[in-house]
């Protein structure tokens, strides 16, 4: 057992569950398992991997496997920032586990977030790109664009900006800007065009991703296209964070915070707690619970449901738009908004909501129509009116 383990008095029947997102690319899932093995060696506590979706074992299965042999189990999310998975899915999994395994003490950890080890890692990733481009930030004007996935959670997006600022502080970069590959703005091409106006000697694009997947490839492609179209500025993209040992420093800290019940999330700006401008319809956490209670009371107060329809009676149809990672990058947010507008324009009895992954990655943006059981793939904003009109058409037309 490591010195760190001795210092905190870890019991012999304690375990850790490192929770990754999950991917259809087994290489990405293996990276999570590799980090779990590294964390076990670092802290001296048995550590397994589990996944939110798309890979096995799922969180409940992993908990069922570990719980009979432990008295304390800590779930640590392998997530860069806090969005719906960290704020909703993981706490729900912990609460369910507490109900199903009352003899085990469960703890839920925080996301990786902003940490000195991550800043140090990003600094090294930038230095590697500088070497490739033949520039030196000490003598050349080197700009950095930190490109993250992008989220529908404003709190998560704000942390990317904070990370970029901290990367700039104390270093010799000409500037460090933030960009996103999808969902929100500024998008990567927009940020690169903005940086180019200052005529730096080079632009280093840093993918703020854990694994080397589809989105990292898009960032590399974007940097390559910019380099080819802007001959007066050299540009290239670096590598993602990967399984660098410095991530273990962050994970060990997050584990220690969780097991001592000292996790401190930025709940004051969480859209699941307060109504932020532009996100009033997004529900989760305390706001979802409040809505559920008022919704339940609305039903309890009604004597004749059939004679007194109200706003949340079941609509004639429900359109679920996948706004998860891949679909979002392909334009799902625009599809979502144009569908909502088309429904309003048509006066249709159709409810349109965002959805997490619908398990049709590669065919997106995906729209699922219920109760008809019709799925639309490769949707664009211009398809919205056609989808709504088709839904309202008589059967057989």
Q: What is the mean pLDDT of residues 121-125?
A: 98
Looking at 111, 128, 150, the residue that finishes a domain is 111
Residue that has been written with the tokens 């532009």 in this structure: 278
**Which residues, other chains included, contact 369 with Cβ-Cβ below 8 Å and sequence gap of 6+?**
317, 318, 319, 320, 375, 376, 387, 391
Which long-range contacts does 125-128 make (Cβ < 8 Å, 24+ apart)? 125/206, 125/238, 125/239, 125/241, 126/173, 126/204, 126/206, 126/238, 128/238, 128/239
The answer to whether residues 120 and 226 belong to one domain is yes
The answer to whether residues 123 and 230 belong to one domain is yes
The answer to whether residues 386 and 322 belong to one domain is yes
Looking at 237, 252, 287, the residue that finishes a domain is 237
% of the chain exceeding 90 in pLDDT: 54
Q: Regarding predicted confidence, which is higher, 347 or 101? A: 101
Residue 138 tokens read as 């000490």
pLDDT confidence of residue 8:
43
Q: What is the mean pLDDT of residues 166-194?
A: 96
Domain that holds residue 8: 3-111
Cβ 51 vs Cβ 85: under 8 Å? no
Looking at 84, 111, 138, the residue that finishes a domain is 111
**Which CATH number fits the domain that encloses residue 194?**
3.40.50.1400
Checking if the pLDDT of 397 tops 90, the result is: no
Number of domains comprising the chain: 3
Q: How far is CA 339 from CA 110, 225, 257, 372, 392, in A?
A: 35, 32, 43, 17, 13
Q: What is the mean pLDDT of residues 92-98?
A: 90
Closest CA to 204 of 170, 167, 169, 252: 167
C-alpha angle with apex 279: 275 to 284, nearest 5 degrees?
70
Q: Any idea which of 7-16, 78-87, 286-295 has the lowest mean pLDDT?
A: 286-295
Q: What is the mean pLDDT of residues 101-120?
A: 95
The answer to whether residues 131 and 88 belong to one domain is no
DSSP letter, residue 381: G
Q: Any idea which of 1-10, 192-201, 334-343 has the lowest mean pLDDT?
A: 1-10
The answer to whether residues 35 and 107 belong to one domain is yes
Helix axes 214-229, 188-196, angle to 10 degrees: 30
Ramachandran angles phi, psi of 364, nearest 5°: -85, 175
Q: Any idea which of 133-137, 277-281, 389-393 has the lowest mean pLDDT?
A: 389-393
User: How far is the first Cα of the chain from the last one, in angstroms, to the nearest whole number?
Assistant: 70
Q: 164 by DSSP, 3-state: which?
A: helix
Q: How many CB atoms lie within 10 A of CB 31?
A: 23
Q: What is the mean pLDDT of residues 220-232?
A: 97
Checking if the pLDDT of 259 tops 80, the result is: yes
Q: How many CB atoms lie within 10 A of CB 316?
A: 12
pLDDT confidence of residue 396:
39
pLDDT confidence of residue 309:
47
Q: What is the mean pLDDT of residues 279-293?
A: 55
Q: Is residue 286 part of a domain?
A: no
**Dist. CA 173–CA 23, nearest whole Å:** 34
**Dist. CA 377–CA 372, nearest whole Å:** 15
Q: Any idea which of 93-107, 209-223, 320-334, 380-394 has the lowest mean pLDDT?
A: 380-394
């Amino acid at each position: 057992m490591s010195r760190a383990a001795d210092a905190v008095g870890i019991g012999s029947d304690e375990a850790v569950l490192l929770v990754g997102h999950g991917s259809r690319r087994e290489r990405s899932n293996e990276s999570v398992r590799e980090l779990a093995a590294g964390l076990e060696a670092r802290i001296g506590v048995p550590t397994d991997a589990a996944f939110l979706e798309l890979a096995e074992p799922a969180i409940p299965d992993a908990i069922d496997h570990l719980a009979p042999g432990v008295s304390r189990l800590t779930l640590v999310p392998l997530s860069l920032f806090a969005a719906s998975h960290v704020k909703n899915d993981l706490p729900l999994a912990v609460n369910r586990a507490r109900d199903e395994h009352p003899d085990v003490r469960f703890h839920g950890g925080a996301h990786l977030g902003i940490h000195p080890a991550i800043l140090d890692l990003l600094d090294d990733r930038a230095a590697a790109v500088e070497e490739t481009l033949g520039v030196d930030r000490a003598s050349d004007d080197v700009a950095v664009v930190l490109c993250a996935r992008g989220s529908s959670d404003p709190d998560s997006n704000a942390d990317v900006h904070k990370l970029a600022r901290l990367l700039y502080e104390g270093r010799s970069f000409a500037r460090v800007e933030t960009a996103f590959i999808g969902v929100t703005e500024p998008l990567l091409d927009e940020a690169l065009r903005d940086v180019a106006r200052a005529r730096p000697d080079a632009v280093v694009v840093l993918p703020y991703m854990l694994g080397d997947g589809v989105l990292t490839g898009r960032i590399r492609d974007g940097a390559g296209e910019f380099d080819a179209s802007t001959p007066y500025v050299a540009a290239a993209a670096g590598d993602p964070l990967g399984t660098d040992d410095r991530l273990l420093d962050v994970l060990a800290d997050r584990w220690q915070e969780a097991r001592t019940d000292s996790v401190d999330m930025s709940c004051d700006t969480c859209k699941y707690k307060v109504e932020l401008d532009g996100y009033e319809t997004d529900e989760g956490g305390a706001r979802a619970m409040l809505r559920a209670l008022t919704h339940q009371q609305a039903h309890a107060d009604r004597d004749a449901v059939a004679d007194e329809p109200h706003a949340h009676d079941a609509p004639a149809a429900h359109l679920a738009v996948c706004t998860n990672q891949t679909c979002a990058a392909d334009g799902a947010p625009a599809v979502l908004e144009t569908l909502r507008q088309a429904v309003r324009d048509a006066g249709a009895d159709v409810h349109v909501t965002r959805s997490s992954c619908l398990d049709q990655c590669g065919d997106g943006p995906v729209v699922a129509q219920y109760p008809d059981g019709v799925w639309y793939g490769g949707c664009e904003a211009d398809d919205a009116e056609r989808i709504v009109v088709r839904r309202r058409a008589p059967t057989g037309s």
